Amino acid sequence: MAVRPITVIGHKALHSPTKKVREVTEEVRTLVADMFETMEAAEGVGLAANQVASRLRIFVYDCPVPEGPNARGVVVNPVLERLGTPAPLDPEEDGEGCLSVPGEWFPLARHPRARVTGTDLDGNEVVVEGEGLLARCLQHETDHLDGYLYLDRLTGPVKAEAREAVKDRGWADEGVLRWDPTSTTADEV
């Protein structure tokens, strides 16, 4: 297993829809193992394959839930179902971050529950349903695989604030397209 560099906003992989996994090969298994290692090194709760520059439709997650152990797993070829109606935006409660927009957090209203269906690495059906942070994670990671960053879903003054933060970080200007979670923290990128 290896920690892979994480793509940063401005990298074309983050705005390209991913491709369906046709066969789980040893390369795919290695990718998934590396994704778990990378997510852990970056202290994230989810990671999509295009965040480590792979075009495959896969995400991993290790997300705290209110009771019991973390929800942890891999979903190959996920299909998302958003459940419920998003509540009005609460800037204090609805903060969201992203390993591809390191060190930044912005409020984003999400559906209160979500369900993802797909398969695991052995081809077994996987159904992950959650609310709260897990629902946010499922929506966030599936968005990645569809070519969207959470910043793309922001509106109004929050969207303008996010654009300014990205500009201030100089990611597009300086060509910073990846960061290594073993040598830097998200705040240092």
pLDDT tens by residue, 124-150:
999 999 999 999 999 999 999 999 999
* pLDDT for the residue 68: 87
Distance CA 3, CA 159 (A): 31
Whether residue 181 lies inside any domain: the answer is: no
Distance CA 112, CA 16 (A): 26
CATH value at residue 142: 3.90.45.10
State pTM to two decimals. Answer: 0.93
Whether residue 1 lies inside any domain: the answer is: no
Whether residue 164 lies inside any domain: the answer is: yes
* Chain centre distance of CA 21: 18
As a dihedral over the C-alpha atoms of residue 50, residue 73, residue 26, residue 42, rounded to 10 degrees, the angle is 50
Phi, psi (deg, nearest 5) at residue 25 = -100, 180
Catalytic site residue 141? Answer: yes
Whether residue 187 lies inside any domain: the answer is: no
- Domain range enclosing 37: 6-176
Residue of 37, 96, 104, 141 marked catalytic: 141
- Residue 98 annotated as binding? yes
Q: How many distinct structural domains can be found in the chain?
A: 1
Q: Find out whether 75 and 68 touch, Cβ atoms under 8 Å.
A: no
* pLDDT for the residue 132: 92
Whether residue 34 lies inside any domain: the answer is: yes
- Residue 11 annotated as binding? no
Segments in the chain below pLDDT 50: none
